[in-house]
Structure 1
Amino acid sequence: MKLKIQLYVLSLWLLFILLFINKVSFPTCFGINCGFISFQDILEMNIIPSISLIIVILGFIFYFQFKYIINGNRSLPEKISKIENLNWEHLTFLVTYILPFLSFNLGENRNGLIFFLSLIIIGFIYVKTNMFYTNPTLALLGYHIYKISTANNDGIIIITKDIIKKDDWIKSKLLSDNIYIANKT
């Protein structure tokens, strides 16, 4: 469960980078009477970008934890008998969730509350339904999604950095239910 939540937060990494870029504000002054305002004033002007930056940093931490978890033991090699490429699911997540969230007017308290409640609800649904593998950040990091069948497993989802084809051999590690991380052997 912890891994699923971490991967969901990692999926929001892109949203919060874009949100940071969209909302960050630094005062500029060109002239003789310019002076430095305090760091506290800059922080107060950038509450949403500061929260975004914290979530981006958490995403990096979770990514390194994910890398550590997936480097563990793998199963014996299995031959792929059937394969379906599911890389398009990254785009579905991106277009359905990430882009619409950028249009929220977070300057209004009610919209900010709705924004974060929506993220929590969507996260809960993604974790409960095992859809965390549709993470667009994983696509940016070079991972692919496939639905495969082998002699021992039918219709499992694998996440891999390799390009997989029918009759390839893979070693996999269970992440959750029918979702595995795999490497080509």
Structure 2
Amino acid sequence: MYRKIGLFFLSLWLFFILTIIITINIPICFSENSEFIGFYELITTNIIPLICILCLFIGLISYLDFSYILKGATQMPFSITHIENIEYEHLTFLTTYIIPLVCFNFVNLRYQIVLVILLIVIGLIYVRTDLFYANPTLAILNYRIYKINGQFKGGVRENIILISRDKLELNQRCDYIKLDNRIYYAKQKIV
């Protein structure tokens, strides 16, 4: 469960970066009489960007954890009997969630509260419906998404979601790591 939550933070990296750009307030003055406003003032005027930096850090830890588990031992290989590229899911998540959220009014406290509530609700939906594979950040990091049927040791499994850095094809043999009941990380079987 914590990995899914971490991948949710990872999926919102673009949102956090855009929010930092929109909301950061660092006064810059080059006159002779200028002086530093102080750390307290700097921090209190940049709460939202600091929270976004924390969320970026959580996403980074999640990505490092994700990369670590993918280096682990794989299950018995399977053969792909049907394959469908569903990389459009990345774009769907981006246009449905991230772009509209960036248009929020970050100045008004009520809108900030609504934004937090929306992020929590989207996160709950994202984790409970296993949509963590539809992650635009993973697309940027060169991962692909496939929906496959496969011949496994125990029989045929249908509608499996594969996350892979490899370009997978029909009848190809793959090693895999099970991330969830129907979501696997797969890589080409090296003979």
Q: TM-score, normalised by structure 2?
A: 0.93
1:15 aligns with 2:19: no
Residue correspondence of structure 1 range 158-169 to structure 2 within 5 A:
158-169=162-173
Identity of aligned residues (%): 43
1:114: Cα distance to partner?
A: 0.5
Hey, what does 1:149 align to over in structure 2? Answer: 149
The structural deviation recorded for 1:32 is 2.3
Letter matched to residue 165 of structure 2: K
Between the aligned partners of 1:85 and 1:100, the Cα distance in structure 2 is: 26
Structure 1 counterpart of 2:43: 43
Residue 11 (structure 1) shift? 0.7
Q: How does 1:56-95 map to 2 (within 5 A)?
A: 56-95=56-95
Which residue is equivalent to 1:180? 184
Q: Determine the structure 2 residue equivalent to 1:100.
A: 100
Separation in 2, partners of 1:30, 1:6: 41
| Counterpart residue number, 1:112 | 112
Runs of 4+, deviation exceeding 3 Å: none
Deviation at 1:126, TM superposition (A): 1.1
Give deviations 1:38-95, integer Å, cap 9, x for gaps. 1221111111101101100111111111111222121122111110001000000000
Name stretches of at least 5 consecutive residues in structure 2 with no aligned partner: none
Partner of 2:175: 171
TM-score, normalization by structure 1: 0.96
- Cα distance in structure 2, aligned partners of 1:69 and 1:78: 19
2: CA distance between counterparts of 1:18 and 1:108? Answer: 18
Secondary structure of the 2:157 match is: coil
CA deviation after TM superposition for structure 1 residue 30, in Å: 2.8
Provide the rounded CA distance (Å) in 1 between the counterparts of 2:129 and 2:44: 38
- Structure 1: tracts of 5 or more residues without a match: none
Structure 2 counterpart SS, 1:146 = strand
Query: How far apart are the structure 2 equivalents of 1:153 and 1:74?
Result: 17
Instruction: Tell me which amino acid in the other structure corresponds to 2:45.
Output: M
Structure 1 equivalent of residue 139 of structure 2: 139
- In 1, distance between residues paired with 2:70 and 2:85? 21
